[in-house]
Structure 1
Amino acid sequence: MKKPLTTGFWKATARLILRNKIAILITVALYTIFFAMQWDKMRFTYTEANLLPDDHEVNVVYNNFLNIFGEEGNLVILGVKDSSLFTVDKLNAWNQLSEDFKAYDEVETVVSIKDLQKLVKNNEKEQFDLEPFIKDSIQSSEQLKTLENDLFNNYPFYDNFLYNTETKTVRTAIYIKKDIVNTPARKEFIMETLQKKIASFEADNNLDVRVSGMPYIRTLNSQNIIDEIGMFIGAALLVTSLIFFLFFRSFRATIISLIVVCIGVMWTFGIIGLLNYEITVLTALIPPLIIVIGIPNCIFLINKYQHEVKLHGNKVKSLQRVITKVGNATLMTNVTTASGFATFILTESKLLKEFGIVASLSILAIFILCLFIIPILYTFLPYPKPRHLEHLNKRWINAFVDWMERMVKHRRITIYVISLVLLVASIIGIYQIKISGSLIEDMPKKTEFFEDIRFFEREFDGIMPLEIMVDTKRKKGVMKLATLKRINELEDLILDTPELSRPVSVVSLVKYSKQAYYNGNPKYYQLPTSQENSFILSYAKNSNSDVDLLKNFVDSTGQYARITTFMKDIGTDRMERIEEDLQTKIDKLFPEERYEVTMTGKALVFQKGTKYLVKNLVISLSLAIVLISLFMAFMFRSFRMIVVSLIPNLLPLLVTAGLMGYLGVPIKPSTILVFSIAFGISVDDTIHFLAKYRQELQANHWKIRKSVYAALRETGVSMFYTSIVLFFGFSVFTISSFGGTVALGALVSATLLFAMLSNLLLLPSLLLSLERSIANKQTLRKPAINIIPEDGEGDAPDDLKD
């Protein structure tokens, strides 16, 4: 009988590896040095993850807004809620802290209580003048009481901007220069300057200063990602090496495996640097993922080597059989795992594309490293000692395999009933899954900066900007009274929405102008009538300050106005309802032929991005299933086998999705990855089992039952070993402070555990129940790829047996 081409290929590969040991080790070392030299090209992300394609309508609208009004995420906020702040010394110290920040090159402007200006009517010049609330510093408690009364009772224009009249919380706004907001200079300023000055101020004045704002949140969040990379790698190495040692009881095998995966991690960082990608919350997961996926490769190869040595005692023949018999199976399983990650490349999201490219390349790299390094290192080492081979006869493993065999043999109906119950319960749970588009949900909950986010949500109704831009389609159209009235009506709806903060716009300034015209009487803080409008605006036009006041609300041509509000951390469903209500009001107030009104802002862009990713989840998972199905069709040449093999791999995904619904874990950028990753990994067990099953069928003259039980015993142990490593390996991510990473680790671990049981119980049960329609010579023809070479195929050539 003619041998499959793959046997000859792996026989040649074994000869190549074992004859060129030194050259291959030198080549691996040189590549490792090359990749290490790429590390300095790695960049840590300084922006939020943009989940949408660059040409997506939502991004186009957002970038158009930035082109007109500039970067909106450049505000850092300091806040204090403490009655003792309103003493002469402490308030002066607070104002001085704000003044000090103005001296830094990174700061564009600072607005604090000391910077607040009163609009004062100048009858003589028929204009408004600006007068400071505090001219130099506060000298007496009487002056302080007057200031308090003014701030909290007479100037609604500033309410909810620099203070909260109800709770007496005070804050300072620091605007970072827009050209450094998305650069390393921002991090240096926040980590080295801002935090140290605030810490010094707190110590000197016994005040608790809260800090927030998008640049600050992004900086500390990025730092947490950086800090956790090392933690994940260390934890993954510790957990997987400990489990590996417990299985093999060999320091030698454990150290070899650690060497291989450490080189794999070095290559992964090198790939990120070589491609000039940023370290994001997703790409930060890849190095520990490579450890978790690489260790099972080591288990398969070393386990096979020890099994062969025990069988015939010839070391070189054993290593050659490791390459020819396990190399092909390991390649197939790594290709399917890489395929699960590679499907993300086909999405339009830059974040997911980069993750898919780096992960799939790294998985293929770790396979090559395992295949080259492990057999070569063992050629230099002595024979394994008897104690190193004891794990091959462990009674508890045999007991586990016996239990599986009994279940498949006598309890198939029970297995089907449990599977059906799980399926129904999962479908019910799936309908309870929610989508989360929150910018801050995945951020570390126990950190100080997250507590500060909640503080500003309570005191000022949120910190995530939502922007509404009004295009009047004509120059100076914003200051028309009709336009101002329309904006005011829209702001009334925003005020009635509890999840949104009090809006700030040109309308607020015009109301303040009317108040100033009537000598600062707060009851006149309202839009002027048509009669009042002309002479109030004439006062504003005569003022030297109107351009400075208007620049944050109206563009230089007077055609565009912005309404800025801040949003609390709310769910996607509620956000969509708020957006719908606002859009309905906009459509009613602003006729299409005269106005173009758009909603944007970082929070809205992120929420839209999450919905876009959910759609891509379905696409990427479908692609993974189709790709792997085609791959298995090419291997087994059997449509029926594809159907049977997909059932035990799709069920765990449905169970996990159901668990997400019951446990309230929403679909979000981090949990979206679970399904494609888990499917790509879990299908490996199916490939191993079916390949062995087909081989046993031929060896046992198409006796189905005997072949199923033989395949179960042969593959059950290695599937159990690798599943345990993967389960605990992915569980490492649960130590993260990021909620999304914790969910990812827990869900993938649970899915892989379900997948192991499904492949060891449901798959053989299906094969036995459908034996007549599946297991025949026509259905299981000679495979295109002989995954597990038959005994005697590809044995070591004579010149390698010495």
Structure 2
Amino acid sequence: MFKLFTKGFWDVIASIILRNKIVILITIALITILFSTQWKNMRFTFTEANLLPNDHEVNLIYNDFLEIFGEEGNLIVLGVKDSSLFTVEKLNAWNQLSESFKNLKDVEAVVSIKDLKKLVKNTDKERFELEPFITDSIHTIEQLDSLQDDLFKKYPFYDNFLFNKETKTIRTAIYLRKEIVNTSERKDFVFDELLPKVEAFEKATDLDVRISGMPYVRTLNAQNIVDEIGKFIGLALGVTSLIFFFFFRSFRATFISLLVVCIGVMWTFGIIGFLNYEITVLTALIPPLIIVIGIPNCIFLINKYQLEVKLHGNKARSLQRVITKVGNATLMTNVTTASGFATFILTESTLLKEFGIVASLSILSIFILCILIIPIIYSFLPSPKERHLEHLNKRWIGAFVNWTERLVKERRISIYITAIVLLIVSMIGIYQIKISGSLIEDMSKEAEFFQDIRFFEEEFNGIMPVEILVDTKRKKGVMKLATLKRMNELEEVILETPELSRPISIVSLVKYSKQAYYNGNPKYYQLPTSQENSFILSYAKNSSSDLDLLSNFVDSTGQYARITTFMKDIGTDRMERIEENLQNKIDNVFPEDQYNVTITGKALVFQKGTKYLVKNLAISLSLAILLIALFMAYMFRSFKMIIVSLVPNLLPLLITAGLMGYLGVPIKPSTILVFSIAFGISVDDTIHFLAKYRQELQANNWKIRKSVYAALRETGVSMFYTSIVLFFGFLVFTFSSFGGTVALGALVSATLLFAMLSNLLLLPSLLLSLERNIANKAVLKKPSINIIPEDDNEEEESDKEIKNNH
């Protein structure tokens, strides 16, 4: 069954590759062209990442809300906090700016200071009427003073909606058409209409306009993702190629490696397009990841080729041995790395599934490209000159390997003590890790739009919508006084919560109606009594339909009402406590047999999604560990070898988790990826070491100490090379403007560095300490999968045949 992994199979593969070089290169070129035709299907996501399965209860509640009231995140707000705004010229200019948006096809409605109207009582006609605060434009200082007096002192209905009476901050609300909120038209509106108009206004008035709202934030954030893909690909290519050249001192080897990974990136984009996936903040990481993971493959293959050339000078034999001796080992390490990513496929989150599928397919693709392109290109080139092989004799690399060997020989107890201390300290740190469910935490803190978010949080208590859906279970149940009083009690809890903005609902309009009935006296801004309710409602029924200022907050049947508030960017723990407080109030105020009240909104959905992902982290990481353990079990047929191989790779994960606790890096969608990615990559070093160890055992007649040190000397150099490339390769992500991507890059880099030291120090120490328990000839003599084929003496005829093929 596993004949595929025998030496004979790789001999055949080597023969096929080296006999059919032109055909293979043409095939790769055709596949690359075919993938490039799929690039047109790539599109950048215009929706928020939904981390929950479609059938999750939280998603179902949110979708029910959307069916009744439509898309909630369609509000863009413009704000100005400047005393000079309250001059005739500038306030008129502000109103003109707001008016200029009204006729745009993408805008559903605009509400500005000029649109505000007084609700007044017409006693003769027994109805309410609307009178504008500003009839046309402001001409005098007296009109301006009167307007400020009305807004800031007499009409609490509008307070904290279009202005903050304490700080005199003014804002305009622009409601986009709900159909465009999750499409590319939203981006066109922001960049072609909104920003040019605002910039022209700022230039003309010398006022600083703040812009926010979920459509705006999402658009600029998505644009940052687009901009960073190119930056990361460039940085990853630059950093890895520099390190590669530093190690090999060969432009030829560096160029070949860059060619391979560039084709790999092209294939990755082709896979995304072929599967018709959107480019999200996660899938955008895959192209640079492929570069970072692909370069170590090139290092293993080119290093082996040059070692073989140095050993016997026969280019044909060297190329065959690159495939037969390193091909299987590279395949196994790439499979384990792909497995770390592929575990995300088993989660129920669409976002993670897509990331897992594309990443695992791309990793296997880069392996295929490496094993085909590198030997074929070198077969056309002359043999490496002496200067190309000088790096094999670098003294500082030898000194590093000697240092690790000396520690393993002389300081084994110190290694164990250090590992135990790190484990204990890490466990303490793990208990300090927090979970973050913030929609904006990963956004660029330097970006202007992020500063604007903070501005609106300070002035109006946030921009992230939280919705409460009230189902009265009967038509026209919303306008019952009992319902309004219950909603008002719930709104009082919201008002008492500093992280939430003043709620907007039908309750506010009913209070405003009572104030109007009492001739605008602000002390009557309250719900009517049962006696007042009947004649106030009679006035409202006689009024024109355009008086329904909050029609968005009651459905057409009068059965459903919504209470909208906005939340600051807060931690998951605080968000959960707020939700709990609201739910307790709901349970106490709304009888279950008469009402069905649910809390939803984008902020809550995202927070629940983060909690869901934490559970999936445990599942995906456990699956990755299980897969690697099964692989080790089949390879070595020894439970003790499974433990020996897993311990050096689990310890770095625990150290990293501990660091997250101490440094205050929370668990969130971006940092959740760290553990599965790092484990899948770091276990590669273990596979290389143990495979070489098994080979050395056979060559040295089962002398364990000699075999461990021999394996350490040979694999130590490659481990160091690849770990350095991976360390600096992942470190390029720290140049991101997204906090989550920065954390991902730094944490994976740190984990892989710990993993290298763990595999070079702890793994051989364990093998030496447990030598009598695991040195079982029956187990290790004939493994199920032969990772590194044994050296055989090829016959002269075989060498001649290989040469003839060239």
Q: Is the 8 A contact 1:702 1:776 kept in 2?
A: no
Q: Identity of counterpart residues, as a percentage?
A: 81
Kindly tell me: are residues 8 and 616 of structure 1, through their superposed partners in 2, closer, same or farther at Cα, counting changes over 3 Å? same
Shift of 1:801: 2.9
Q: Is the 8 A contact 2:51 2:610 kept in 1?
A: yes
2:167 is the counterpart of 1:148? no
Please name the residue that 1:600 is paired with: 600
CA distance in 1, matches of 2:251, 2:363: 25
Q: Is the 8 A contact 1:501 1:567 kept in 2?
A: yes
Please name the residue that 1:761 is paired with: 761
CA distance in 2, matches of 1:792, 1:304: 16
Q: For residues 207-218 of structure 1, what are the structure 2 equivalents within 5 Å?
A: 207-218=207-218
Q: Is the 8 A contact 1:117 1:131 kept in 2?
A: yes
2:126 is the counterpart of 1:100? no
Q: For residues 212-611 of structure 1, what are the structure 2 equivalents within 5 Å?
A: 212-545=212-545, 548-611=548-611
Please name the residue that 1:625 is paired with: 625
Please name the residue that 1:732 is paired with: 732
Q: Is the 8 A contact 1:670 1:741 kept in 2?
A: yes
Kindly tell me: are residues 3 and 395 of structure 1, through their superposed partners in 2, closer, same or farther at Cα, counting changes over 3 Å? farther
Shift of 1:547: 6.4
Q: Is the 8 A contact 1:342 1:356 kept in 2?
A: yes
CA distance in 2, matches of 1:587, 1:4: 63
Give, as a single letter, the amino acid of the residue that structure 1 aligns with 2:215: P
Please name the residue that 1:655 is paired with: 655
Please name the residue that 1:189 is paired with: 189
Shift of 1:5: 5.7
Give, as a single letter, the amino acid of the residue that structure 2 aligns with 1:596: N
CA distance in 1, matches of 2:546, 2:183: 32
CA deviation string 1:311-358 (max 9, x = no partner): 111111100000000000000000000000000000000000000000
Please name the residue that 1:118 is paired with: 118
Q: Is the 8 A contact 1:156 1:522 kept in 2?
A: yes
Kindly tell me: are residues 135 and 323 of structure 1, through their superposed partners in 2, closer, same or farther at Cα, counting changes over 3 Å? same
Q: Secondary structure at the match of 1:436?
A: coil
Give, as a single letter, the amino acid of the residue that structure 2 aligns with 1:534: S
Q: Secondary structure at the match of 1:649?
A: helix
CA deviation string 1:592-647 (max 9, x = no partner): 00000000000000000000000000000000000111112112222110111000
Q: Is the 8 A contact 1:540 1:546 kept in 2?
A: no
CA distance in 2, matches of 1:329, 1:366: 15
RMSD: 1.1
Please name the residue that 2:803 is paired with: 801
Kindly tell me: are residues 495 and 444 of structure 1, through their superposed partners in 2, closer, same or farther at Cα, counting changes over 3 Å? same
Please name the residue that 2:721 is paired with: 721
Q: Is the 8 A contact 1:8 1:794 kept in 2?
A: no
CA deviation string 1:378-403 (max 9, x = no partner): 01111111111011111111111111
Q: Secondary structure at the match of 1:778?
A: helix
Q: Is the 8 A contact 2:476 2:557 kept in 1?
A: yes
Q: Secondary structure at the match of 2:468?
A: strand
Shift of 1:781: 4.1
Kindly tell me: are residues 420 and 568 of structure 1, through their superposed partners in 2, closer, same or farther at Cα, counting changes over 3 Å? same
Q: Secondary structure at the match of 1:761?
A: helix
Give, as a single letter, the amino acid of the residue that structure 2 aligns with 1:705: R
Give, as a single letter, the amino acid of the residue that structure 1 aligns with 2:609: G
CA distance in 1, matches of 2:99, 2:545: 21
CA distance in 2, matches of 1:229, 1:729: 15
CA distance in 2, matches of 1:36, 1:549: 52
Shift of 1:778: 2.8
Q: Is the 8 A contact 1:466 1:600 kept in 2?
A: yes
Shift of 1:551: 1.4
CA distance in 2, matches of 1:798, 1:637: 39
Q: For residues 67-106 of structure 1, what are the structure 2 equivalents within 5 Å?
A: 67-106=67-106
Q: Secondary structure at the match of 2:200?
A: helix
Q: Secondary structure at the match of 1:262?
A: helix
CA deviation string 1:8-33 (max 9, x = no partner): 11000000000000000000000000
Please name the residue that 1:18 is paired with: 18
Q: Is the 8 A contact 2:5 2:787 kept in 1?
A: no
CA distance in 2, matches of 1:306, 1:119: 86
Give, as a single letter, the amino acid of the residue that structure 2 aligns with 1:92: N
CA distance in 2, matches of 1:798, 1:329: 27
Give, as a single letter, the amino acid of the residue that structure 2 aligns with 1:318: S
Shift of 1:4: 8.9
Please name the residue that 2:634 is paired with: 634
Kindly tell me: are residues 367 and 343 of structure 1, through their superposed partners in 2, closer, same or farther at Cα, counting changes over 3 Å? same
Q: Is the 8 A contact 1:506 1:553 kept in 2?
A: yes
CA deviation string 1:463-520 (max 9, x = no partner): 1000001000000000000010000011111111110011111110000000000011
Q: For residues 168-187 of structure 1, what are the structure 2 equivalents within 5 Å?
A: 168-187=168-187
CA distance in 1, matches of 2:274, 2:493: 51
Give, as a single letter, the amino acid of the residue that structure 2 aligns with 1:494: I
Kindly tell me: are residues 630 and 130 of structure 1, through their superposed partners in 2, closer, same or farther at Cα, counting changes over 3 Å? same
Kindly tell me: are residues 5 and 114 of structure 1, through their superposed partners in 2, closer, same or farther at Cα, counting changes over 3 Å? closer
2:32 is the counterpart of 1:32? yes
Q: Secondary structure at the match of 1:101?
A: coil
Shift of 1:192: 1.4
TM-score, structure 2 as length reference: 0.98
CA distance in 1, matches of 2:555, 2:103: 27
CA distance in 2, matches of 1:445, 1:327: 45
Shift of 1:798: 4.0
CA deviation string 1:718-772 (max 9, x = no partner): 0000000000000000000000000000000000000000000000000000000
Give, as a single letter, the amino acid of the residue that structure 2 aligns with 1:602: K
Shift of 1:130: 1.1
Give, as a single letter, the amino acid of the residue that structure 2 aligns with 1:490: L
Kindly tell me: are residues 371 and 479 of structure 1, through their superposed partners in 2, closer, same or farther at Cα, counting changes over 3 Å? same
Kindly tell me: are residues 671 and 793 of structure 1, through their superposed partners in 2, closer, same or farther at Cα, counting changes over 3 Å? farther
2:684 is the counterpart of 1:681? no
Shift of 1:194: 0.5
Please name the residue that 1:8 is paired with: 8
Q: Is the 8 A contact 1:290 1:363 kept in 2?
A: yes
Give, as a single letter, the amino acid of the residue that structure 1 aligns with 2:757: L
Give, as a single letter, the amino acid of the residue that structure 1 aligns with 2:398: N
Please name the residue that 1:772 is paired with: 772
CA distance in 1, matches of 2:517, 2:94: 31
Give, as a single letter, the amino acid of the residue that structure 2 aligns with 1:66: L
Q: Is the 8 A contact 2:698 2:781 kept in 1?
A: no
CA distance in 1, matches of 2:760, 2:3: 30
CA deviation string 1:35-68 (max 9, x = no partner): 1111110010001100000110000000100000
Q: Is the 8 A contact 1:7 1:793 kept in 2?
A: no
CA distance in 2, matches of 1:69, 1:605: 17
Q: Secondary structure at the match of 2:12?
A: helix
Q: Is the 8 A contact 1:11 1:794 kept in 2?
A: no
Q: Is the 8 A contact 2:5 2:328 kept in 1?
A: no
Shift of 1:407: 0.5
TM-score, structure 1 as length reference: 0.99
Structure 1: state its 5+ residue gaps: none
Q: Is the 8 A contact 1:4 1:786 kept in 2?
A: no
Q: Secondary structure at the match of 2:549?
A: helix
Shift of 1:549: 2.0
CA distance in 2, matches of 1:538, 1:279: 55
Q: Is the 8 A contact 1:324 1:794 kept in 2?
A: no
Kindly tell me: are residues 550 and 202 of structure 1, through their superposed partners in 2, closer, same or farther at Cα, counting changes over 3 Å? closer
Q: Secondary structure at the match of 1:468?
A: strand
Give, as a single letter, the amino acid of the residue that structure 1 aligns with 2:71: E
Q: Secondary structure at the match of 1:172?
A: strand
Q: Secondary structure at the match of 1:671?
A: helix
Structure 2: state its 5+ residue gaps: none
Q: Is the 8 A contact 2:95 2:112 kept in 1?
A: yes
Q: Which moved more, 1:527-536 or 1:537-546?
A: 537-546
